Amino acid sequence: MKNILVVEDSKVINNIVSKELKKFDFKVSQAFTFEDAKSFLNSNDYQLIVLDLHLPDGEGSQLINNIQSLTETKVVVLTSSQDEELRKELFEHGILDYIIKDKNLIYSITEIIKIINTLNAKKTNNVLLIDDSKFIGSAVKTILEPRNYKIVHSLTAKDGLEELEESKFNLLILDMELPDMHGLKVLEIVRKNPKFLYLPILILSGTSTPEIVRNSLKNGASDFLKKPFISEELILKVDLWIDYFSKERELKEKTKELEFVNKDLEKFIAKEIEKNKEQQLFMLQQNRLAQMGELISMIAHQWRQPLNNLYIINQIMIAKFQTGKLDDDSVNYFKKNSKKQIDLMSNTIDDFTDFFKNKDEKEEFALNKVIFDAIDITRPIFNNNKITITFDVKEQYLVFGYQNALLQVVLNILNNAKDALIEKEVEDKKIKISIVEDEEDIVLEIEDNAGGIDEKIIDKIFDPYFSTKQSKNGTGLGLYMSKMIIDEQMQWKLKVCNIDNGVKFKIIVNK
């Protein structure tokens, strides 16, 4: 719908209506007299006429006779006249609506816009009318068909039910007094069919006793309209229920679509969760392998001295044997000292093996012991690199969690500190471990003097595969797995911050 003619003798009202319609990109012509309107109609084609009934040089209703077809050119009456007979006559001629002008002119304009939008949708809504009156059928068609409704009229219940099965309808208008069946029975048959469970049904009846209305609504009718009906009321109720049915159907379709999407989404999420678990296990394994390399290096440091001692003892025994000086004292010395070195190496293996034993259940353990174990494990390589570790907390702090998992985290942090201290060539390399307590938490703090972490990247150090090591020997998994262990597995918190000339890691244990 593009061309609209506004016929109104009041320039104020005509200008307001035209201005509002132009906002919707309609091409609007303005006629202020009967003769102006006739001239416009003779020279132009209009899809819609907004018509005032009383013009200074003639009656607006007479213009309808100049319109060749009310099917192609629609008419909306906008008037202050409330002549009921004229209103009825105009609806019988096929006008779209009869709108009374009042103080709220903008509301009247919105009604016109609503009608235009319905027509522009170019969507035909099918309405089934079951009524034995041909006069009613003709009246309903005259009123509704100009508004893009297709009316199928059945004179009997039998024909109507057959039509309902064969075609799709957006609304059923049902008379109560039919020649072959009462309307309540038809209503019962329709509602028993699952296909028509949500189909709007408007009862059209000459009898409107409370009992009839009540029974109609209780048996599945959507609304009730008494004969003889008012045209605007029929239009209002048909528009209302057609719109409701359309939105209800759209909602059901969207709901079905969402159900399918949700099912696919659930499968996708489950698949991604499984992939994420596999990825985490893979990264955990990578991290464990990296830590195993670190531990093997530590074991090597632990074994270097006893192996050297065994070599010296062995060389002494060979020399004494070759010189004939091998006696009982020499054999006992060899036996005693070689066993001592072998026991030392065996104990080292036992200590490191405990680290790789996973325990499935949480347990109560001393936080201090984990720190001492970590220091013992790292001492040889830390001593070799002249790194001083201080931990002088004497009070026992009992916590509940996974002891070996915490040991793994502490070793990760200590090894990162060691690498930073070596990489930055710090002269006086120091690592300080402490435990502080308040009313809510026990906090394990590990800090170094390696210069800290660049503030631009400090928020990323717990990301997987992110490494700060310039040598790029790091996997970028140690701190990521540490964060996973502390925050998710232990339900504690692992945090990091820069301090003066270094960095501090905090493991916060909730009491």
- Contacts by residues 303-312 (CB-CB < 8 Å, ≥ 24 positions apart): 303/345, 303/348, 304/380, 306/341, 306/342, 306/344, 306/345, 307/341, 307/345, 309/337, 309/341, 310/338, 310/341, 310/342
Pair (189, 171) in one structural domain = yes
- pLDDT at res. 472: 45
DSSP string, 419-455: HHHHHTT-SSEEEEEEEEE-SSEEEEEEEE-S----T
Tell me whether residue 164 is in a domain: yes
CATH code, domain with 52:
3.40.50.2300
Pair (435, 488) in one structural domain = yes
Tell me whether residue 130 is in a domain: yes
Pair (470, 374) in one structural domain = yes
Which helix (H) or strand (E) is 75 found in, with range?
strand 74-79
Pair (419, 491) in one structural domain = yes
Domain boundary among 229, 258, 276: 229
- pLDDT at res. 350: 67
Whole-angstrom distance, CA of residue 185 vs CA of residue 179: 12
pTM reported for the whole predicted model: 0.45
Pair (61, 148) in one structural domain = no
Pair (114, 138) in one structural domain = no
Whole-angstrom distance, CA of residue 34 vs CA of residue 60: 7
Q: Break the chain down into helix, strand, coil percent, rounded to 5.
A: 55, 20, 25
Tell me whether residue 82 is in a domain: yes
Tell me whether residue 322 is in a domain: no
Tell me whether residue 141 is in a domain: yes
CATH code, domain with 505:
3.30.565.10
Domain boundary among 184, 201, 229: 229
Peptide bond into 306 cis (omega under 30): no
Whole-angstrom distance, CA of residue 371 vs CA of residue 114: 76
The domain of 446 spans 358-510
In the numeric block, which tokens belong to residue 182? 């009462």
Name the CA dihedral angle for 195, 197, 199, 204, rounded to a multiple of 10 degrees.
120
Q: Are 3 and 45 in contact, with CB atoms under 8 Å apart?
A: yes
- pLDDT at res. 471: 46
Pair (160, 223) in one structural domain = yes
Pair (370, 505) in one structural domain = yes
What is the total residue count of the chain? Answer: 511
Tell me whether residue 415 is in a domain: yes
Tell me whether residue 302 is in a domain: no
Pair (502, 372) in one structural domain = yes
Pair (171, 50) in one structural domain = no
Pairing of strands 441-448, 502-510: antiparallel
Pair (58, 80) in one structural domain = yes
Domain boundary among 182, 200, 229: 229
Whole-angstrom distance, CA of residue 433 vs CA of residue 451: 17
Tell me whether residue 327 is in a domain: no
Q: Are 128 and 160 in contact, with CB atoms under 8 Å apart?
A: yes
The total domain count for the chain is: 3
Pair (370, 413) in one structural domain = yes
pLDDT 10s per residue in the chain (511 long)? Answer: 678 999 999 998 999 889 988 888 889 999 999 999 888 888 888 888 999 988 998 888 888 777 755 557 888 888 887 788 888 888 877 788 888 876 678 888 888 888 887 777 667 889 999 999 999 999 999 888 888 889 999 999 999 999 999 999 999 999 999 999 999 999 999 999 988 988 999 999 988 888 889 999 998 999 999 988 888 889 888 988 988 887 777 777 777 777 777 777 777 777 877 777 676 666 666 656 565 665 666 566 557 656 766 887 788 888 888 888 888 888 887 888 788 778 767 766 665 565 555 556 788 999 999 999 888 878 877 888 899 999 988 888 999 998 888 888 898 899 889 989 999 999 999 999 999 998 889 999 999 999 999 998 898 888 876 666 654 444 456 787 788 889 988 899 999 999 999 999 999 998 7
